Amino acid sequence: MAFISSGYNPEKPMENRITDIGPRKYDEFYPPVIAKNKGKWLYHEYLQPGVLVHVAESGDELYTVRCGGARLMTTTHIREICEIADKHCGGYFRFTTRNNIEFLLDSKAKVKPLLDDLAGRKFKGGSFKFPVGGTGAGVSNIVHTQGWIHCHTPATDASGPVKAVMDELFADFQQHRMPAHVRVSLACCLNMCGAVHCSDIAILGYHRKPPMLDHEYLDKMCEIPLAIAACPTAAIKPAKVEVKGEKLNSVAVNNERCMYCGNCYTMCPSMPLADTEGDGIVIMAGGKVSNRISAPKFSKVVVAFIPNEAPRWPQTAKVIKGMIEAYAKDAQKYERLGDWAERIGWERFFEKCELDFTHHLIDDFRDPAYYTWRQTTQFKF
Amino acid sequence: MAFISSGYNPEKPMENRITDIGPRKYDEFYPPVIAKNKGKWLYHEYLQPGVLVHVAESGDELYTVRCGGARLMTTTHIREICEIADKHCGGYFRFTTRNNIEFLLDSKAKVKPLLDDLAGRKFKGGSFKFPVGGTGAGVSNIVHTQGWIHCHTPATDASGPVKAVMDELFADFQQHRMPAHVRVSLACCLNMCGAVHCSDIAILGYHRKPPMLDHEYLDKMCEIPLAIAACPTAAIKPAKVEVKGEKLNSVAVNNERCMYCGNCYTMCPSMPLADTEGDGIVIMAGGKVSNRISAPKFSKVVVAFIPNEAPRWPQTAKVIKGMIEAYAKDAQKYERLGDWAERIGWERFFEKCELDFTHHLIDDFRDPAYYTWRQTTQFKF
Amino acid sequence: MAKHKTPLLDQLESGPWPSFVSDLKQQAEKRAKNVEGIEFQIPVDVVDDLLGLLELSFKQGRTHWKHGGIVGVFGYGGGVIGRYCDQPQMFPGVAHFHTMRVAQPGGKFYTSEYLRQLCDIWDLRGSGITNMHGSTGDIIFLGTTTPQLEEIFFELTHNMNQDLGGSGSNLRTPADCIGQARCEYACYDTQDLCYDLTNEYQDELHRPAFPYKFKFKFDGCPNCCVASIARADMSFIGTWKDDIKIDQKAVQAYIGGELVPNGGAHSGRDWGKFDIQKEVIGLCPTGCMVMDGKTLKINNRECTRCMHCINVMPRALRIGNERGLSILAGAKAPILDGAQMGTLIVPFIEAEAPYTKIKETVIEPIWDWWMEEGKNRERLGELMKRQGLQKVIEVLGVDPDPRMVQEPRSNPYIFWKEDEVPGGFERDINEFRKHHLR
Amino acid sequence: MAKHKTPLLDQLESGPWPSFVSDLKQQAEKRAKNVEGIEFQIPVDVVDDLLGLLELSFKQGRTHWKHGGIVGVFGYGGGVIGRYCDQPQMFPGVAHFHTMRVAQPGGKFYTSEYLRQLCDIWDLRGSGITNMHGSTGDIIFLGTTTPQLEEIFFELTHNMNQDLGGSGSNLRTPADCIGQARCEYACYDTQDLCYDLTNEYQDELHRPAFPYKFKFKFDGCPNCCVASIARADMSFIGTWKDDIKIDQKAVQAYIGGELVPNGGAHSGRDWGKFDIQKEVIGLCPTGCMVMDGKTLKINNRECTRCMHCINVMPRALRIGNERGLSILAGAKAPILDGAQMGTLIVPFIEAEAPYTKIKETVIEPIWDWWMEEGKNRERLGELMKRQGLQKVIEVLGVDPDPRMVQEPRSNPYIFWKEDEVPGGFERDINEFRKHHLR
Ligand code: SRM
Ligand code: SRM
Ligand code: SRM
Ligand code: SRM
Ligand code: SF4
Ligand code: SF4
Ligand code: SF4
Ligand code: SF4
Ligand code: SF4
Ligand code: SF4
Ligand code: SF4
Ligand code: SF4
């Protein structure tokens, strides 16, 4: 493999350098029908799950075909998308904020051929490459983070559980039978790279063991004061330890105060947390982002822990499926999952979703915990 | 004046001593109709504001005539109540949890003579002794605390503002024209001796100046560590001071951190806060206690400060009257003041009550302050 | 002639509302005249001087009372609040002006006979000024001198079978709503439970053994007429488990207008014809009511017993039969950390005398915990905040119940105990490093 | 033949949802075959080794990535996340596996031409694996070696007129909803404002000068399709000031069933006939709508623009004409102190290019304050919590507005500035003692 230069000269990094040009301008990529009608759309409708039409003041119509997919995708896959776009819609497409692919068509006649084409495309293993859906009152794609594919702090994988859960929810990706949008998200650690904290259902990777201390290397590899300062619960103190007869500067962790956030590990690689049995998944529910009817709200912890059951995380998938079915059965039209839980009361939520209420679900983090306690005689037996 | 002994012998305090006998038993004081029908009441109705009838399963009826009054009362006044009770209802009466007097009658025929009798009784100064009212959807008596009559920490008087405000609200003490109960309370300092923090309208005495330091006496009169520990904001530190050439142990107060709670003064008399211009009244609104329809809730600060305008606190009375009128005009039937404010939005509350919204009304006390900020795009212009 | 000029206070004599100034003045006059020839045991001009002192406060906008000294009756740690004036030369009548808290009877029911006896004692030995009642609920004797304290206590206990109430780091005088004595909504006998616990815990009431004050309040139903949920360390609030009883004929009578809604509480204004849909069904917080033709139906399993429908139609709807109470804990005033509302710690418990289960499985375990763990001047609610609701559940020995929370936690900062996590917390870093090189 | 056995991952190939494993495998195969004869600049088996490494993680339930080292392109403080594997001997293809964040175009609109160019660069110089897109919004190039970073950057900038996105204590790559490009609800041009600010603040985006990361997100309306309110330090959310436009004929068409509610979003189930009362008027959070005969009336002054009615009847109701946006600040993920939602700091501001007012009266004053007062790794929301909303108001130089709070404070712990209180804080204790003896 020979090194191919881009033209960059490491000796003179500033030579010819172009910086601060930002992204490409949005309108370079607008299909003509959008360029023409931007800001002048009148209304939209769903032709079927996954297929939208937007009608402009001019009478122009824009057809959108939305396909699900793993956001982790290879150039092979991207090239296939490009090929489809070239074939059906002049090369124009986009991605949604939930990592779905949208093909943008300027006439209704182009919809069916595209749908047929998409339906036929499958991976070797058998899964669909471009399942159409993800619109309206259904379950859209799971937004997620890196997991074991790229990050150093995850307590679970991302792409794996997402695939497993989406297989379980697949029918509802292609249907409009939910009372409202159902938005599922995954973050592989407490850093929560996403709006996981405000999702109808959130899958969260969580450690359950305090960091190990690699005393022998700690002082060499880490800035001890930074590690200490990183801890939100002040669980870390400087400590002198003896390893192999040598006195070393290191730290001590008060396990009782640790809530396994991994903040110390982010600062100091000699404090790893990952553990086969310790790590796993927390399920949260009832959050939302839109301001529709009710204000946005945070998701609540509804299952304190499910072990990492690779490769298919069956308990995680089952719990989520169970919640969604209970919701679909019981909620009112337009009612988001969290609004439903609040209307029926969380005591009923646990009953209807057949979930256990454990002490872990009671807030005990700092003062505001108190606001989550029941301070009325209004409750249901 | 000769000392009259009760029989108590200070030399032998334990001789003959009776202790731990508790209050008199409730049923010693039940009128016969209550003793007979206790636990078997069927329903009640208002004959007119201030007059209730309760009907028992047995068919027996109990008539209650409720009168307002200052809870600060002399034996002269109490003896007059006793005299009325003897005359009209066999000597039976009670006090309500809001310090109203209730005469308990066992037949309807006795109501009118009692009402007539009460109407005629006035103090020399002209005020009613026994105004009938305080029931139903009206304004009941103001529960209050000691004020300048007895306490060492008040920032305002109690009986004075209460008299002034009740004069203003008097018509509604005798009417049922409110959308729901209106409960006004007063506490003369932050200790809030009462359920002032959960009242439809609360009048709260508030200091606005940090304590003065009586350095010369401080160490002699106070336990300095206790005073320091008493401060919720850690504004007090030990300090050495020089007074008249003498070095003394004392304290220093960080005025910026002080929120004038007077906790230090409670511990240490050499740290008085009271100040003619500093002290005054905070008005709070929208709290409730009952679990009816909505859960109980805290009152919110709606006017940050009104000076102590003795003897009639005209601004305080006016602000309260204004809120009550706005509420009466705009709220729905059964809607408590706080529920009204929440339904229309606090931005509208200030508008309708013609009150200024100042920076003082924004919560900045500790972390939970953040939960009071607006975290949705839902607001009204 | 009044001893002091009170031009400011005089302005509080006008206006319709009963004037405490007029009342104080009539008392001052009565003492001065002393028609009955009472041998007042404290200065005859105590009321005059109180008026004078108050006038000064009105003028200056500041109180003239100093901190209480430690005064009281022998063997009790509460019941008396010492009080001294900071201008004793100007107002010698109130130089000493202690209050005594006299434990009020349940429901604040009185006979004229009893109250006159109290007045007799108080006219002789005190100022004759009272609060009927203090905010906690006591009868407050307002203003006497130190030597009179034991005398009054002796007379109260010997002649009136009457004890003092609480103050200090004690159980405070419990208080109740009128409840079953007159109210059709009462789910248990508030007066009896209040009386029983008051007597059971006399020692705790009189002798400070707690970290701080502790209050019991008893509400017969969720209407909370004694405001227990907002101001008692332990609130006992009546409720029921089974179905609201419905008299369908009476429902129709409300609809038809023969019966007035809410007993006539809204009589002062024309709110229009009663509309059961809008006024009852539509306001039910759980939406668990419907009109099915002419029949009102309640899905009782979904009802949260908020009382609204019953309040509006007391002749048609009645509380259920399987009655008891909910216990909430930790309410308090704002100092130090902001006000707290009571938190539901026992959703339902029976309330039958002798109330053993309430005492032994709730009150006493909570007190033991608080006495063990509570810091000086830390209210129960503050301890709960500090140690968490989990701890309360542990103390009560019950299972965690979603009824105790309004919602589950939204932060996922879950603490695990070492024995809950397979393999525990201790691990061999070198073993780990075999799989994860540095 | 695959380089590593992946029996666990293989189980993720079945099932209907697109399998990333299958995709990775096809990529591994393609690289191995290399039909096009590309001179791969990083190991040809990078994808195989990623699969192998991932299989190991699946087996052990633990990640095998170490901390990122400090790698990047010259002069930029962000855009690259360094990553090294902790088993480089076993998986040399991913020993170095850095990601690059490529600034995505507004609305994530693409042409095949552009994206193929990106693929060409990435096949040559990286793993050919991407995230489309990262959670913040970037195009993520997943996995390359250090020497390739500058090469890729050079090609992007020179050949594609394309820059990197943000990481580190910088402005992060701003992101927007599709907005006016396709959406009838958009109240301003999200793509234009996003693009304008991204370019205006390139320096802030590439060179760390902030205490911590900072995110802009742009939602065209309160539906919040880019979730700005939950995850942007500054969220720009479209709104309007005047009246919702009503087409009464279309209202009737919805009522009559000629038009389907919510564009057909609920088509998968029989929800019964559309009931405007129940589905729209009854769900309006402010209760500001009524049917007056055949006319739908909205009391627009009371409307909080929640979008519900418009969402349900897009052909009958349209956003108002006096448009602009609300700015909320401080949203963030839970670490350290619990998640924060954005707080309304500017109820309404115009959104017309060149957006000077937004920049000069909101963004820049807030940044100045945060850069002055923010601690290391303190997000804007945390600073707001620490210094209070009052401080934000001061920084913005606006009047306090009840719209900025959900409710006024319930604790009365009001701090006063010395100059707000007549007479100030300093007083003479001896003067006081003349009136109040010790
Ligand atoms: C394409 C996309 C914007 C983009 O820039 O990519 C988009 C597009 C539309 N959204 Fe959205 N929303 C998109 C993400 C979101 C998100 C963000 C998210 O899910 O992370 C939200 C907030 C969700 C939340 O609250 O948790 C969101 C909340 C809404 C709502 C409010 C729904 C509610 O009941 O609360 C509407 C209104 C509606 O559905 O009638 C809405 C309506 C719409 C409409 C109908 C707007 C229009 O007239 O075109 C678009 C088609 C909806 C559909 O998917 O059925 N869009 N929408 C996003 C598609 C994501 C996907 O692939 O599934
Ligand atoms: C006499 C008293 C109990 C006592 O033991 O002394 C009492 C008695 C009754 N209350 Fe009460 N309440 C009494 C204080 C309270 C309080 C406490 C307070 O005000 O400090 C509350 C809580 C107030 C709050 O939420 O802030 C209270 C909230 C209620 C409610 C719920 C009202 C609501 O709309 O939230 C009802 C139901 C109703 O009014 O229909 C109620 C209903 C009643 C009924 C109708 C019960 C009955 O069937 O007898 C009684 C007559 C009501 C009336 O006054 O019109 N009572 N009631 C108290 C009279 C106080 C007074 O003199 O004004
Ligand atoms: C007399 C009374 C006010 C009244 O005018 O009615 C009263 C008076 C005092 N209260 Fe109180 N409290 C009284 C009921 C209350 C209540 C209401 C209640 O019990 O329902 C509360 C709020 C509920 C609560 O307990 O939280 C109350 C909360 C306080 C506090 C704040 C306690 C806290 O934890 O936040 C203090 C401060 C303290 O304990 O140092 C306090 C302290 C005081 C002191 C002892 C002042 C002090 O710091 O030394 C006052 C003595 C005044 C005096 O000279 O008589 N008082 N106090 C009430 C007792 C009368 C009675 O026994 O019936
Ligand atoms: C790549 C990405 C996840 C993904 O798979 O998409 C990501 C990955 C990382 N995030 Fe993130 N964050 C990513 C979007 C987010 C978001 C979502 C957003 O921007 O909308 C959040 C939540 C919103 C927020 O900013 O609060 C987010 C909140 C965090 C946090 C917590 C910050 C906080 O203030 O609470 C950290 C911790 C840190 O900064 O040390 C963090 C840290 C990290 C680090 C750098 C891990 C670390 O501690 O060093 C991750 C590098 C992983 C890797 O190897 O690639 N990441 N991170 C996302 C960026 C891609 C992109 O540019 O498009
Ligand atoms: S959520 Fe945590 S583990 Fe996952 S990508 Fe973000 S920082 Fe990494
Ligand atoms: S994991 Fe978090 S809580 Fe535990 S020691 Fe590390 S920084 Fe502290
Ligand atoms: S509220 Fe304050 S000033 Fe008033 S009686 Fe209670 S402790 Fe005294
Ligand atoms: S008044 Fe309160 S806040 Fe101020 S110094 Fe005293 S105890 Fe501290
Ligand atoms: S609390 Fe309930 S039971 Fe007690 S008086 Fe009030 S309404 Fe009656
Ligand atoms: S008590 Fe309240 S919750 Fe129960 S049915 Fe009546 S109104 Fe509804
Ligand atoms: S946020 Fe509003 S404007 Fe933007 S895409 Fe969603 S619905 Fe349309
Ligand atoms: S936008 Fe929301 S608040 Fe406004 S009228 Fe429509 S439903 Fe009501």
Q: Does D431 touch chain B (CB under 8 A)?
A: no
Residue-level pLDDT at D320? 98
Number of helices (H), then strands (E), in chain C: 16, 14
* Inter-helix orientation angle D364-373/D389-396, to 10°: 130
Q: Does C84 touch chain B (CB under 8 A)?
A: no
- The minimal CB distance from D412 to the residues C334, C413, C438 is found for C334
Distance from CA of B366 to the nearest CA of A (A): 9
Q: What is the ipTM of this complex?
A: 0.96
Reduced to 3 states, what is the DSSP secondary structure of residue B257? Answer: helix
Whole-structure pTM value: 0.97
Separation of first and last alpha carbons in chain D = 95
Question: Tell me: the pLDDT tens digits for D320-339?
Answer: 999 999 999 999 999 888 89
Question: Tell me: the pLDDT tens digits for A135-170?
Answer: 999 999 999 999 999 999 999 999 999 999 999 999
Reduced to 3 states, what is the DSSP secondary structure of residue A144? Answer: coil
* Partner chains of D (3+ C-beta pairs under 8 Å): A, B, C
Distance in Å, CA D308 to ligand 12 centroid: 6
Between CA B117 and CA B113 the distance in angstroms is: 6
**Nearest atom (ligand 1) to Cα of A134:** 63
Residues A279, A205 contacting (CB under 8 angstroms): yes
Instruction: Specify the residue with its C-alpha closest to ligand 5, atom 3.
Output: A154
Cβ <8 Å between C409 and A298? no
Residue-level pLDDT at A219? 94
Distance in Å, CA B210 to ligand 8 centroid: 7
* Partner chains of C (3+ C-beta pairs under 8 Å): A, B, D
Distance in Å, CA B192 to ligand 3 centroid: 7
Q: A238-274 burial string, b = 16+ CB within 10 Å, else e? A: eeebeeeeeebebbebebeebbbbbbbbbbbbbbbbb
**Do the first three CATH levels of D7-159 and D245-318 match, i.e. the same topology?**
yes
- Write down the mean pLDDT value for chain D: 97
In the predicted structure, residue A63 carries a pLDDT above the cut 80: yes
Average pLDDT over residues B265-286: 96
**Which listed CATH number (3.30.413.10, 3.90.1150.10, 3.40.50.300, 3.40.190.10) goes with C175-239+324-404?**
3.30.413.10
Instruction: Specify the residue with its C-alpha closest to ligand 1, atom 59.
Output: A96
- Write down the mean pLDDT value for chain C: 97
Question: Tell me: the pLDDT tens digits for B322-350?
Answer: 999 999 999 999 999 999 999 999 999 99
Distance in Å, CA A380 to ligand 10 centroid: 11
**Nearest atom (ligand 11) to Cα of D178:** 5
Is domain C7-159 in CATH 3.30.1330.10, yes or no? no
Report residue C67's pLDDT band, with 50, 70 and 90 as the boundaries: confident
Cβ <8 Å between B6 and C151? yes
Q: Strand A280-285: give its sheet, edge to edge.
A: A184-187, A201-206, A280-285, A300-307
Question: Tell me: the pLDDT tens digits for C79-102?
Answer: 999 999 999 999 999 999 999 999
Q: Does A371 touch chain B (CB under 8 A)?
A: yes
Report residue C122's pLDDT band, with 50, 70 and 90 as the boundaries: very high
**Could you tell me which chain A residue has the CA closest to the CA of D136?**
A194
Cβ <8 Å between D114 and A49? no
Distance of CA D208 to the CA centre of its chain: 19
Pocket-testing residue among B236, B268, B270, B279, ligand 8, by greatest number of atoms within 8 A of Cβ: B236
Q: Does D283 touch chain B (CB under 8 A)?
A: no
Of residues A37, A90, A45, A291, the one with CA closest to residue D182: A37
> Cβ contacts (< 8 Å) between B365 and chain A: which residues?
none
Report residue B377's pLDDT band, with 50, 70 and 90 as the boundaries: very high
Under CATH, which number does the domain D245-318 receive?
A: 3.30.70.20
- The minimal CB distance from B299 to the residues D390, D410, D418 is found for D410
Report residue B195's pLDDT band, with 50, 70 and 90 as the boundaries: confident
Distance of CA A222 to the CA centre of its chain: 31
> Cβ contacts (< 8 Å) between B79 and chain C: which residues?
116, 119
* Assigned token pair, D92: 């040399």
Average pLDDT over residues A114-122: 98
Separation of first and last alpha carbons in chain C = 95
Cβ <8 Å between A166 and D17? yes
Question: Tell me: the pLDDT tens digits for A187-215?
Answer: 999 999 987 999 999 999 999 999 999 99
Distance in Å, CA C156 to ligand 2 centroid: 32
For a pLDDT cut of 70, what percent of chain D falls above it? 100
Residues with beta carbon inside 6 Å of ligand 4? A 145-146, 150-151, 153, 191-194, 266; D 81, 83, 99, 101, 131, 133-138, 140, 165, 173, 213, 215, 231, 332-333, 335, 379
Distance from CA of C332 to the nearest CA of D (A): 13
In the predicted structure, residue B177 carries a pLDDT above the cut 90: yes
Question: Tell me: the pLDDT tens digits for C228-272?
Answer: 999 999 999 999 999 999 999 999 999 999 999 999 999 999 999
**Nearest atom (ligand 2) to Cα of B41:** 48
What are the structural domain ranges in chain D?
7-159, 175-239+324-404, 245-318
Distance of CA C74 to the CA centre of its chain: 27
CB B188 less than 6 A from any atom of ligand 7: yes
- Write down the mean pLDDT value for chain A: 97
Residue A143 phi/psi, 5-degree rounding, is -80, 145
Of residues D16, D142, D41, the one with CA closest to residue D82: D142
Q: Does B148 touch chain D (CB under 8 A)?
A: no
Q: D144-160 burial string, b = 16+ CB within 10 Å, else e? A: bbeebbbbbbbbbbeeb
Q: Does D82 touch chain B (CB under 8 A)?
A: no
Distance in Å, CA D187 to ligand 11 centroid: 9
* Assigned token pair, C188: 């248990």
CB A267 less than 6 A from any atom of ligand 6: no
**Nearest atom (ligand 9) to Cα of C186:** 3
**Nearest atom (ligand 2) to Cα of B336:** 34
Find the largest Cα–Cα distance for chain A: 83
Residues 240-259 of B with CB under 8 A from C: none
Average pLDDT over residues A316-337: 98
Question: Tell me: the pLDDT tens digits for B66-104?
Answer: 999 999 999 999 999 999 999 999 999 999 999 999 999
Cβ <8 Å between D411 and B363? yes
Amino acid at A132: V
B311: left (phi > 0), else alpha (psi -120 to 50), else beta?
alpha
Residue-level pLDDT at D68? 77
CA pseudo-torsion sign C344, C350, C355, C359: negative
Q: Does C76 touch chain B (CB under 8 A)?
A: yes
Distance in Å, CA D132 to ligand 11 centroid: 20
Q: Cβ atoms within 10 A of the Cβ of D324, count?
A: 20
In the predicted structure, residue C54 carries a pLDDT above the cut 90: yes
Residue-level pLDDT at D335? 86
Tell the burial category of D199 from Cβ atoms under 10 Å away from its Cβ (0-12, 13-18, 19+): middle
Of residues C255, C261, C216, C250, the one with CA closest to residue C236: C216
Could you give the count of Cα atoms lying within 13 Å of B210 in the half-sphere of its Cβ?
A: 22
Pocket-testing residue among A190, A191, A264, A298, ligand 4, by greatest number of atoms within 8 A of Cβ: A191
> Cβ contacts (< 8 Å) between A282 and chain C: which residues?
412, 414
